[in-house]
Structure 1
Amino acid sequence: MKTVDELLQNYEDSVGRGGQLVLGLAPDRRGLLPDADVKRLAEFGQALQARYGDAANVAARHGKTDARSQAALDNDPDTFWTATDVNQGVLEVDFGKAVTIDRALTMERLEDGQHVRGYVIQAWDGHRWTTLAKAQAVGHMKIDRFAPVSTRRVRLRIVNSAGTASIREFKLFAAP
C-alpha cells in the first residue's frame, strides 16, 4: 500500500500535469474496498485539501490585484482572467508583505481550446524578477513545484499563446 506522501507525489506527477490518476483499487470478496484502502484514501483526501484546498491558497487569502486579475485568484473556476494581448499576457499578484510559497496551480479555461504554448512563473526578489517555473502548456491543470521562496509579488507570464489565453485559476501554496 502506498503512503500518503507517495500518493501525493503520484497526484502531482499525473493530475498536476494534466493526466489521470489511476489508483488500481479493487473490491474484496465482500464487493467492498478493503478497510485499509478506504482509510488511506481518506488520509490522502485530507492531505490533498491541506496542500491544495481553497483554504491553503495563499493568493486568494493575501493577494491584491486589479478586479480583472482577481477572477483568477478567487477559488472560483467559473471566473477567469483573460490576457489583453493575443500572444502574451501578465497576471501579477501583490501580497502586500512577504509570503513563502513553493507551488503554483494554474488552470486554463478550455471552452475555446487550449491556447497557452509557453509560460513562466516569476517572483520579485526586491530588485528583479526571478524564474520559479517555466513550461510549455497549462491545459486543464498544471502544478509547478519549486524551491520555497519568500516574496511579496508573483506573476504568471504567458510568453507564447495560440490565441487569447484565459486563466481560470492561479493558486499559490506553501506545502504543509
Structure 2
Amino acid sequence: MTPITQIVTAFVPRWILWALVFAAGAASGAQLVAWSKNAELATLRETHAKAAEKAEQAARTALQDAQDRGDEITHQLHSANRAAMLVQEKLDEKIRQATTGRRCLDGAALRLLDSAPGIARAGVPEAAREPAAAHAASAAADPALDGIEDASAAAADTDVALWARAAAGQYAECVRRFDALIDWHDPTIKRP
C-alpha cells in the first residue's frame, strides 16, 4: 500500500464518522431549537388567546352597559312623554273651557296654512288666490255665494289654541328625544 492509499483509507472512515457525528449533532440541535420555539409559540398563542378573550369580554361588557343605558334612557323618555301627555290632556280640557268656539280662520286661510312647507298634506287644495277681504266683498256682492263655505272649512279659536298647544307639545317631545340621544352618546352631560 502506498502512503496515499494508507492516508485515504485511514482518513475516509474518520471523515464519515465525523460527518455522522456532525449530522447527529445538527439534528439534535435542530430538535432542541424546535422544542424551544414550539414552547415559545405556545406561550405566545396562549397570551394572544387571553388578550382576545379579555378584549371580547370588555366589548361584551361595553355593549351590555350601552344597552342598559339605552334602556334606562328610553324608560325615562317614555315616562317623561306620558307625564307630558297627561299635562297636555288637562291643558286641552282647559282650552276647551276657556275658548268660545267662534270662527277665527276661514277655509282659504286654513288651506294656506295646510299648504305650508312641513305641514302640507296630499290632496289639500291650494289656497285661494284672492285676499280674504276680496273674498268677503265678493261673497257680500253675490248673495248666491253666501253660506257656500260650511263651518267645517273654518277653524274656531278652540281649534287654533289646540293646534298651538299640539305644536308646542311636539316641539317639547323632539327636545326630549334629542336630549335622550345626546345623553346616550355622552353620559357625562348633566341635565337639570
More strand by share: 1
- State TM-score, norm by structure 1: 0.24
Q: Which has the larger radius of gyration?
A: 2
TM-score (norm 2): 0.22
Bigger relative CO (Cα 8 Å, ≥ 6 apart): 1
